[in-house]
Structure 1
Amino acid sequence: MKLFLIIAVVNGFISVALGAFGAHGLEGKVSEKMLKTWEKAVDYQMFHTMALFIVGLLMSKITGNLGAAGWAFLVGIILFSGSLYIYSVTSIKTFAMITPLGGVSFLIGWVLLGYAVVKYL
């Protein structure tokens, strides 16, 4: 429980910092398309940071294995947002090909979270 709350706090901080860096540090240094890609990475990182908070909070109420959902969200943040951050500043398409794996991880996390909520609440 506490671990996922700490992971969420760290990801929230990183998300805000990278959002500010994208808005102020990358403007004029990367194309508009790449700046939008950076913003998409920030958005999805923050959305799933909130999901990590939900997992951490629900772990005190639900006996089911919410940890798997939390880890899926974290892996999704790393693969989805991480690959888009790198792609945005390098334009190396290989990194963009990793992004869907992160998306699948997000989907798995949501399915696991939904299952736990339906079964245990």
Structure 2
Amino acid sequence: MQFYLVAAGLSAMLSVMLGAFAAHGLKARLTETMLATFQTGVQYQFYHSLGLILIVLLYRQQPSGLMMWSGTLMLAGMVLFSGSLYGLALTRLSWLGPITPLGGMCFVFAWLLLVIAVIKNG
């Protein structure tokens, strides 16, 4: 679980840096729509970084394989969802668009597994 905690901290830090980069460095270079797309990636990355920290804290209280899978899916979701939005905004490569929902599904299943693990462990 230490890996997930380090990954969550680095991801949260990166989302702050990317948000600042978007606000100051990309504002004049991207269309309003692409800037909003980039910011959505930042927002979801930050929220799910906090979610991953929550998973680690809960795991320490009630270890569960389901929580391990939840953490893995949370990380995969950040890479696929936010990463595809960053790539789409910066490069406008349309083939990145279909990757975003895969990341979204990783988020959904990560949260679902977390709920199931908590219910199972009472």
Q: Structure 1 length as normaliser, TM-score?
A: 0.97
CA apart distance, 1:102: 0.3
Q: Show the 5 A alignment for 1:1-121.
A: 1-65=1-65, 66-121=67-122
Structure 2: 5+ residue stretches without partners: none
**AA in 2 matched with 1:67:** M
Tell me the percent identity: 40
Post-superposition Cα deviations, 1:24-70, rounded to whole Å, max 9, x if no partner, equal 01011010000000010000001100110011111111122111000
**AA in 1 matched with 2:107:** F
Residue correspondences, number: 121
Contact 1:83 1:99 in 2 (8 A): yes
Contact 1:3 1:56 in 2 (8 A): no
**Segments ≥4 residues shifted beyond 3 Å:** none
Q: Structure 2 length as normaliser, TM-score?
A: 0.96
Structure 1: 5+ residue stretches without partners: none
**AA in 2 matched with 1:71:** T
**AA in 2 matched with 1:50:** L
